[in-house]
Every structure is written in structure tokens, then in C-alpha cells.
Amino acid sequence: MNTTSSTGFVYHADYLKHDTGVHPETAERLRVIIRKLEETGIAEKLRRIVPTKASKEQLRSVHAPEYIKEVEAICRRGGGALDPDTPLCADTYEIAMLAAGGVTKAVDEVMDESNSLKHVFALIRPPGHHATPNKGMGFCIFNNIAIAAEHLKREYGINRVLIADWDVHHGNGTQEVFFDDASVLYFSTHQYPHYPGTGWIDEVGTGEGEGFTVNAPLPAGTDDDSYLYALSNILVPIAMEFRPDFVLVSVGFDAHAADPLASMNVTSRGFGRFTSLLKDIAGKNSHGRIVMALEGGYNLNAIAESALSVFNSLLSDESELRVKESEIRASERVRIRVEEVKEVQRRYWDI
């Protein structure tokens, strides 16, 4: 491990203890990523961050106390399920706190001005972006990225946080947490229609938060260039106008062409290109500060290669964006959808 690198990762072997049985979201997902980092020598270029559990106060910054107690009680009884998709084992409560704590620890390390750390990818499980204030669903227990955003606001006084979510499923939980909050800009690009059924272009926030939720629902089959076209034409101009002080990313690898739970056509290299774009936004607005948290992705080879691509992008000084190339190659269906999103968002942004 490199103790002076500007790029790091969060990992703990205890994340493997969240036992889901026969299920797409398994401990093997993290094992294959760590193995890939070690086999390629990338791990030696990264700073390893050991997570600590989130406090109950941190959990309550996002989740209702009754829901937190429900999860704890189910796990104390030996396990159960929050819904047909979201199993809990005896260890899940503690491990879900460690997952949330992994992202807040990443934030603390990046915010620490005494070191050179700028970019951290938290390799955590269980994932979080479907978890709402009052319930877990879609494999998610606590909303890790939302808890990290609240931590930034409460502990560091950061009042402009960008959360970019490129998981193939809409992050309904994260959207709900910040739907009326102007201090957090939530951007999601996702397959639509698809689980959980939310994330249409007219979901823009409410009250003070109106205009600070941006949804870019994309059709099945969307590839690297079309994704990058959407990100470049929607996320980039809005983010540059918002001027985030910190960038958080919900990283799902389930838009990969090989993923069994979705129908997109992204390559492993594509995720590296997306990372370059987010790095560029962070570099121009938030002193380069960016924390990424693992969400979905269920083809083991695909997620290992995709994670490697993300780390290579974080470590590189060169950009692989090739935006002009994407402008030419983007599909007509995605071009039309991007214009539809822009038409809605022009009420709030110069786009």
C-alpha cells in the first residue's frame, strides 16, 4: 500500500460477513475486486483506509429511529428480510453500520488537510442508494452515500454537495432523502423503465429543493458514448453552475453489458471514462475532492474489470473522456431523451 498516494480505497474483511445466501449481492463481489487490485499491482499504488462503524447519530441523520431499531431487532433474532430482495443475517446490522462508516471515514480522510488524499473509492457492502429514511429495499439497508452527504454538511459545514449516481437502477432512496434540500444536487442516470420504477424526468425536487434533483432516464441498450453524451450535456453544465464543494458518486457497475440484472451496454473502460468526467468536475470546483461508494453490479468478471478501470482513472493525470467522439456516436434515442431532460431542467439551470 502507498501511504502518500492521492488515491485510496476503503475495505474491511468484515464486509464479507453480510451473508445473503443465494442472491446476486454476495461477498464474492468484493473478493473479486480486491483480487484484481492485488493481481494487477494497482493495490500497491493506493492508500488503504480502514473503516469504522457509523454512529447511531450518523444513521439518524438520514433514517428514522424506528427503522434503525427494526433492522437491529431482526438481526438480533438471527436474521430475516426487509423485503423479498433484501435479506438480513445476524451480522448485517453491524456490517451495514460499517458500510456507512466506510464512506464517512473516506470523507474524513479526504477533508483532512494534513494529507494529500483527494480521491477515495469505498469498496463496501451492503449497498445503500435504494434505502429510504423509513425502509430498506433493493439489497440496501442504510443509505451510505446520503449519510456521507449529511456528515459533510454537519461536520464540515459543506453546503453544496453533488451526488452523481450512475448505477443502472434509480437511487430512489437518495432522491427521497434530499428531495426538498437545496444543499445537495442529486443527479441520476439509469435504465428506464426498470426497478424501482422511479426517476422520470419530471421528478425535480420540491420546496426549497425544487430543481436540485436531476434525472436522466436512459433506454435499454445505452452504450459508453451515449452515456457520456448524456453526462456531458446534462450533468456537466448543471454541476458547473451548482459549483459543488464536494463530489460524491454512487458507483454501480450493473450498466455493464454483461450484467444479469439489467440491459445496458456499457464496457468496463466506459466506467473509467465516467470517472474522468467526475474527476474533472471535482478538479474545477471542489479542490479535486471526490469520494465514490460501491452500489450494484452483479457479473463478477465485469465488476472486477470495471473497478480496475475506475481506479486507473483516479490514478491517472490524463483524461479518457473523448467527448467530441461521443457527440458523434451517441444514439438518436439518447439524443432525444437528453433534449427532453434539458427542456425540464432549463427552468432551473442555464442548460
169-195, pLDDT tens digit by residue?
Answer: 999 999 999 999 999 999 999 999 999
Q: The domain containing residue 138 runs over which residues?
A: 7-345
The answer on pLDDT for 2 being more than 80 is no
- Which residue type sits at 16? L
Q: What is the mean pLDDT of residues 226-236?
A: 97
Is there a domain that residue 149 lies in? yes
- DSSP 3-state assignment of 125? coil
pLDDT tens by residue, 252-296: 999 999 999 999 999 999 999 999 999 999 999 999 999 999 999
Phi then psi dihedrals of residue 306, to 5 deg:
-70, -40
Strand partners, 10: 49, 122
Is there a domain that residue 311 lies in? yes
- In the structure, what pLDDT confidence band is assigned to residue 324 with cuts at 50, 70 and 90? low
pLDDT tens by residue, 44-86: 999 999 999 999 999 999 999 999 999 999 999 999 999 999 9
- In the structure, what pLDDT confidence band is assigned to residue 297 with cuts at 50, 70 and 90? very high
Q: What is the pLDDT of residue 322?
A: 58
Q: What is the pLDDT of residue 159?
A: 97
User: Beta strand pairing status for 119-122 and 7-10?
Assistant: parallel
The answer on pLDDT for 321 being more than 80 is no
Return the number of other C-beta atoms located less than 10 Å from residue 292's C-beta: 27
Q: How far apart are CA 248 and CA 110, in angstroms?
A: 12
Classify each residue of 74-105 as buried b or exposed e, where b means 16 or more C-beta atoms within 10 Å of its C-beta: bbeeebbebeebbbbbebbbebbbbbbbbbbb
- The dihedral built from the CA positions of residue 46, 224, 301 and 221, taken in this order, carries a sign that is positive
- In the structure, what pLDDT confidence band is assigned to residue 92 with cuts at 50, 70 and 90? very high
Q: Look over the chain and give the mean of its residue pLDDT values, rounded to a whole number.
A: 97
Is there a domain that residue 277 lies in? yes
Q: How many domains does the chain have?
A: 1
Whole-angstrom CA distances from 336 to 143, 219, 230 are 32, 11, 10
Contact 271, 312 (CB under 8 A): no
The answer on pLDDT for 319 being more than 70 is no
Q: What is the pLDDT of residue 231?
A: 97
Is there a domain that residue 69 lies in? yes
CATH number where 258 lies: 3.40.800.20
Is there a domain that residue 84 lies in? yes
Of residues 43 and 322, more confidently modeled:
43
- DSSP 3-state assignment of 259? coil
Q: Which residue has the cell 451548482?
A: 242
Is there a domain that residue 351 lies in? no
Active-site option among 63, 119, 129, 130: 130
The length of the chain in residues reads 351
- Which residue type sits at 80? G
Q: How far apart are CA 297 and CA 252, in angstroms?
A: 6
- In terms of Cβ atoms closer than 10 Å to its own Cβ (0-12, 13-18, 19+), residue 164 is buried
The answer on pLDDT for 318 being more than 80 is no
* 287 part of the active site: no
The answer on pLDDT for 3 being more than 90 is no
The answer on pLDDT for 168 being more than 80 is yes
Q: What is the mean pLDDT of residues 246-254?
A: 99
The answer on pLDDT for 4 being more than 90 is no
Is there a domain that residue 2 lies in? no
Q: How far apart are CA 109 and CA 97, in angstroms?
A: 18
Contact 137, 84 (CB under 8 A): no
Q: Quote the crossing angle between the two packed helices 300-315 and 268-285, to the nearest 10°.
A: 30
Q: Cα 159 to chain center, whole Å?
A: 19
- DSSP 3-state assignment of 326? helix
Strand partners, 186: 163, 213
Is there a domain that residue 1 lies in? no
